[in-house]
Chain A
Amino acid sequence: MTRALDVARRALEATTGEAEAVAQAETSGLARFAASEVHQPTLIDNVVVTLRIVRDGRTGVASTNRVDDAGLVELARRAEEAADSAPVDPDFPGLAERGELPRVEGYDRATSELGPDDQARLASDAIAAADVPTYGFFTSAVSELAIVSSTGVEAHQEMTDATTLVVAADNGCSGYAEATSWRAGAIDPAAVAREAAEKAARTNGAKEIEPGRYPAVLEPYAFADLLQYFSYDSFGALGLLEERGYFAGRLGQRVFDERISIADDALDPSGLPKSFDFEGSPKQRVELVTNGVARGVVWDRTTAKRAGEGAKTTGHALPQDLDDWGPLPSALTVAGGDAESTDELVELVGDGLYITRLHYLGVVHPREGVVTGMTRDGTFRIRDGKIAEPLVNLRFTVAVPELLREVHGLTRDVSLINASNFYGERYPYGALVPAVATARFNVSGVGSAPGI
């Protein structure tokens, strides 16, 4: 029996009546480097169990990583106290019933067996491959999610993940690359570092441009980041119900260019697959946008009950400590287009901007999908259908729907972009996206030159 499942079962046994136990376990190593030297190597080993107890329609939740018998008894006491103190929740849909869970990939034994020596070695591989100072990390982990409940749910998934991220930077230049997979063997840290270094070498002598609206090519790193921020308000049911998201009142309407189709698909083996959500409900592929038309959002059991009218969970509940966000996508996937490469998108744009990645995004106006941020680590001018001179970091303020309303093209290939910054308990997730060429990228200011 695995660690998380064992802990979840024992937590459930520590109480009586209606209850659900969710356990997450993590064994991870992250070798972080700066100036081509590993400086923050961190090994984490933890297991956390969250017990939700239901008493006559009132719910209470408590968590602990003290998973001996005494710790679990105390956990149950705290959860019971919380439940006894809460008023009846009319929106509580009850605990999930046992359902058929999809079988997914996402576990690789070789990745799970990587230890500190391997993680340090793979970080060193990245460092050694670049002729520019490198900043980044290699990390790998095995993590588990287990859910058991008094209503018969018994779900368990063991996951692996690995990521190499490299910023290659020196005075006046910087480049970026990353690779993520649930199979560490699919990642070549040296190749990632070379991609970042090659990009950095082309950013020396960056120029400023005038603010204004430009056509632009966004690499998958940039596109994934932008979509992720848009998704917080617009792709989840809570944003819809609270009229906060862009899709409120627009479902069924044409909102984007017809080339844009977006789904959330945690079942896709080329992503970071998941079988079920944090309520134990099976993951479903959800069509969010089809050929530019807003089709739907993701749901959990609570928002589905609140909405009524036949709404059902799509398997997108978050952990209890994050559930005030409501259900959110964790496996965005954007359909690829016809372009064979980003070079082809650059040709389509002709005259515009080329953007590698974004930095420190913020939602300015959620209802209109307005997001601001900076470009970083590889921003260029496009002239005559080719990447031309490097540019300083640019401040952008874009309405995502407007950016996606007029699209010149998308690459056929999609890339898996890691979306986790590894806060809290490890739960690998990311987005599968192509590069995109848009007619409308609004530059609202200029910033500093690239480089360290």
Chain B
Amino acid sequence: MRDLCAAAVDAATGAGAEYADARAVVRRSQRLSTKNGRVEQLTDTESEGIGVRVLVDGAWGFACDRRLTAEGASDAALRACAFAKAAGGRGARALAPLAAQTGSYRTTYERDPFSVSIADKVEHCLRADEALNGRDVIVRQASLRALREHKILLSSEGTDVEQETVECGGGLDCAAAGDGIYQVRSYPSASVGMSQQRGWEFVEQLGLEREAPRVAEQASALLRADLCPAKVTTLVLDSDQTALQVHESVGHPTELDRVYGTEASYAGTSFLHAADLGSLRYGSEHMNVTADSTTPGGLGTFGFDDEGVPASRHPIVEAGVLAGFLTSRETAARIGSGHGGSMRADGWNRMPLVRMTNLHLDPGEGTLEDLLADVDDGIYMETNKSWSIDDKRLNFQFGTQIAWEIKSGKLGRMLRDATYTGITPEFWGKLDAVAGADAWQMQGITNCGKGQPGQGAHVSHGASPARFRDVQVGVKA
């Protein structure tokens, strides 16, 4: 694969590219789910190829070829150059300087998830599926996933890096229905469960079978729960929903390509401006957010991004003030700050884009119980169910699977169909407590979409439960 990348870079520079990089990628993924005692899905997918990105007279071009052969590499390079020339540019395009990088990165794990037999995985799911049996339950689903990606990146600037990442995870989804009401409860997160860059040991630690009875009981209980009231109140979010809040209202708006408008035609732009760096008040002094592509186990952890920039850790929000953006080499050069490090592509046949890596809300102090203790009247929400936010990442509305009212510092009656809404900097300005490191959990998101053609990304967010004052909850249709 390394020779093919070198051949592609040579072919591109020979065709007039002032810059070229080539990524050869071999990816294998497994997805398995059982539903109501039968195997719902059992797929084993492999995909391989080479993607070549070029700059010709200041214009980008990208082409790819599934053939990991000299001919495929050369064809991709020449087609990328041809597309760049046809597209044209406005002259020189600066990239933040990067010394030639060499090295490798591999996920560390105890047990390769692909070494676990499919039969064992099926059995694992079926046991958890069976344990979801309960009153009112109409859908029991257990899921597992695993992914291995091996890639080599070479550039015309001398970068030569090799990486192998391994992810795996799983989850439960349980639906109950009765009297025209339909409710879902999941563990540890909705729809796709939770994944990390770890081995099979992570799936075993999730304890799907162990957690299943509680999940089923809560799904059933939700059928008889009261509706979340509409009011302005104190809101406490669990780690899962706080992570989603970070993803949507901090992660995406701090992607510098969105700030510069290059995502305007699909995912949207940002309420932030480049000049806001270092001065914009994003939230309260309790808000500290860090981008960290070195976090062990993170889905956004790597040795080098897809431009070859080494992994790093840097603040995005410090004590409530905007302190950094997620950048590529091009956007870093444009803003005159940073060095890139957030460029990621979805496989071999997509162009790298500015993406989140791991973006964490740094922990505060105390426990969830401490957060609740300081609430006379409020609502505690758990596990994301629905999400929507505007194109500038300002106006959001999120829903959770389950909620409880908080009365005099204690959880009270269960509530269903809980939603809350707000405007990003106003909402984060109402943050008055984040629980401490013992309550900090790293959540994984595997369905983050961006780009045209569309690309998925896998990112992690660490977060502790967090408390927000004076939030509108209970949005009605």
Q: Map CB proximity to B onto A115-156 as digits: 1 under 8 Å, 0 otherwise.
A: 011011101100000000001110100000000000000000
Known: A120-B83, A169-B264, A421-B449. A85 touches B117 (CB 8 A): yes
Task: Pick the residue among B80, B86, B119, B386 that contacts A120 (CB under 8 A).
Answer: B86
Contacts of B271 in A (CB 8 A): 448
Task: Pick the residue among B42, B262, B351 that contacts A42 (CB under 8 A).
Answer: B351
Q: Map CB proximity to B onto A344-378 as digits: 1 under 8 Å, 0 otherwise.
A: 00000000000000011111111110101110100
Q: Are A65 and B265 in contact (CB under 8 A)?
A: no
Q: Map CB proximity to B onto A55-87 as digits: 1 under 8 Å, 0 otherwise.
A: 000011111111000000000001101101111
Q: Are B475 and A444 in contact (CB under 8 A)?
A: yes
Q: Which of B202-246 contact A (CB under 8 A)?
A: none
Contacts of A370 in B (CB 8 A): 477
User: Nearest CB to that of B423 among chain A residues?
Assistant: A447
Residue B439 at the A interface, CB < 8 A? no
Residue A209 at the B interface, CB < 8 A? no
Stretch at the interface among B162-170, B316-324, B390-398: B390-398
Task: Pick the residue among A85, A364, A374 that contacts B119 (CB under 8 A).
Answer: A85
Known: A324-B40, A397-B397. A44 touches B117 (CB 8 A): no
Stretch at the interface among B31-39, B98-106, B274-282: B31-39
In Å, the complex CA distance between A99 and B194 comes to 42
Q: Are B38 and A87 in contact (CB under 8 A)?
A: yes
Residue A270 at the B interface, CB < 8 A? no
Q: Which of B170-210 contact A (CB under 8 A)?
A: 175, 177, 180-182
Task: Pick the residue among A39, A46, A84, A364 that contacts B262 (CB under 8 A).
Answer: A39
Q: Are B87 and A123 in contact (CB under 8 A)?
A: yes
Stretch at the interface among A29-37, A260-268, A335-343, A404-412: A29-37
Residue A43 at the B interface, CB < 8 A? yes
Write the residues of chain A forming the contact surface with B, with a CB cutoff of 8 angstroms: 28-35, 37-48, 50, 59-66, 78-79, 81-82, 84-87, 89-91, 116-117, 119-121, 123-124, 135-137, 139, 165-167, 169, 242-244, 249, 320-321, 323-324, 359-368, 370, 372-374, 376, 393, 395, 397-399, 402, 421-424, 442, 444-448, 452
Task: Pick the residue among A46, A91, A422 that contacts B66 (CB under 8 A).
Answer: A46
In Å, the complex CA distance between A423 and B265 comes to 15
Known: A41-B84, A42-B350, A372-B475. A62 touches B390 (CB 8 A): no
Known: A29-B83, A243-B182. A40 touches B126 (CB 8 A): no
Stretch at the interface among B57-65, B147-155, B459-467: B57-65
Looking at A59, A363, A445, the one whose CB has the most chain B CB atoms below 10 A away is A445
Instruction: State the Cβ distance, B139 to closest chain A Cβ, in Å.
Output: 5
Contacts of B363 in A (CB 8 A): none
Q: Are B139 and A242 in contact (CB under 8 A)?
A: yes
User: Nearest CB to that of B58 among chain A residues?
Assistant: A37
User: Nearest CB to that of B422 among chain A residues?
Assistant: A445
Task: Pick the residue among A82, A243, A359, A445 that contacts B118 (CB under 8 A).
Answer: A82
Q: Are A43 and B421 in contact (CB under 8 A)?
A: no
Task: Pick the residue among A31, A44, A81, A447 that contacts B390 (CB under 8 A).
Answer: A447
Q: Are B45 and A373 in contact (CB under 8 A)?
A: no
In Å, the complex CA distance between A65 and B348 comes to 12
Q: Are B48 and A120 in contact (CB under 8 A)?
A: no
Give 10 A-B pairs besides A372-B475, A395-B395 with Cβ atoms closer than 8 angstroms. A35-B260, A40-B262, A46-B66, A48-B47, A78-B46, A136-B265, A243-B182, A360-B268, A376-B390, A445-B421
Q: Which of B405-441 contact A (CB under 8 A)?
A: 417, 419, 421, 423
Known: A87-B38, A423-B455. A374 touches B395 (CB 8 A): yes
Contacts of A119 in B (CB 8 A): 83, 86
Q: Are B89 and A87 in contact (CB under 8 A)?
A: no
User: Chain A at the B interface: mostly helix, strand, loop or mixed?
Assistant: strand
Contacts of B66 in A (CB 8 A): 45-47, 65-66
Q: Map CB proximity to A onto B88-131 as digits: 1 under 8 Å, 0 otherwise.
A: 11100000000000000000000000000111011000100000
Q: Are A445 and B397 in contact (CB under 8 A)?
A: yes
Pairs A–B under 8 Å by Cβ, sample size 22: A31-B83, A35-B260, A41-B62, A41-B84, A43-B63, A46-B66, A63-B46, A64-B47, A86-B118, A87-B38, A91-B38, A116-B79, A242-B177, A244-B175, A359-B390, A360-B268, A360-B389, A368-B477, A395-B421, A445-B475, A447-B392, A452-B264
Q: Are B390 and A395 in contact (CB under 8 A)?
A: yes
Looking at A398, A399, A424, the one whose CB has the most chain B CB atoms below 10 A away is A424
In Å, the complex CA distance between A381 and B75 comes to 53
Q: Are B83 and A41 in contact (CB under 8 A)?
A: yes
In Å, the complex CA distance between A243 and B223 comes to 13
User: Nearest CB to that of A377 among chain B residues?
Assistant: B391
Instruction: State the Cβ distance, B91 to closest chain A Cβ, in Å.
Output: 11
Q: Are A61 and B42 in contact (CB under 8 A)?
A: yes
Task: Pick the residue among B35, B86, B453 that contacts A44 (CB under 8 A).
Answer: B453
Contacts of B456 in A (CB 8 A): 423
Q: Are B390 and A35 in contact (CB under 8 A)?
A: no
Q: Are B454 and A423 in contact (CB under 8 A)?
A: yes
Instruction: State the Cβ distance, B314 to closest chain A Cβ, in Å.
Output: 25
Task: Pick the residue among A42, A166, A243, A361 that contacts B388 (CB under 8 A).
Answer: A361
Residue B44 at the A interface, CB < 8 A? yes
In Å, the complex CA distance between A47 and B119 comes to 29
Q: Are A360 and B43 in contact (CB under 8 A)?
A: no
Closest 4 CB pairs of A and B: A447-B395, A422-B453, A423-B454, A85-B118
Looking at B40, B66, B417, the one whose CB has the most chain A CB atoms below 10 A away is B66
In Å, the complex CA distance between A62 and B32 comes to 12
Residue B364 at the A interface, CB < 8 A? no
Q: Are A421 and B388 in contact (CB under 8 A)?
A: no
User: Nearest CB to that of A42 among chain B residues?
Assistant: B62
Q: Are B122 and A372 in contact (CB under 8 A)?
A: no
In Å, the complex CA distance between A254 and B135 comes to 32
Task: Pick the residue among B39, B65, B82 that contacts A116 (CB under 8 A).
Answer: B82
Q: Are B265 and A46 in contact (CB under 8 A)?
A: no
Q: Are A372 and B33 in contact (CB under 8 A)?
A: no
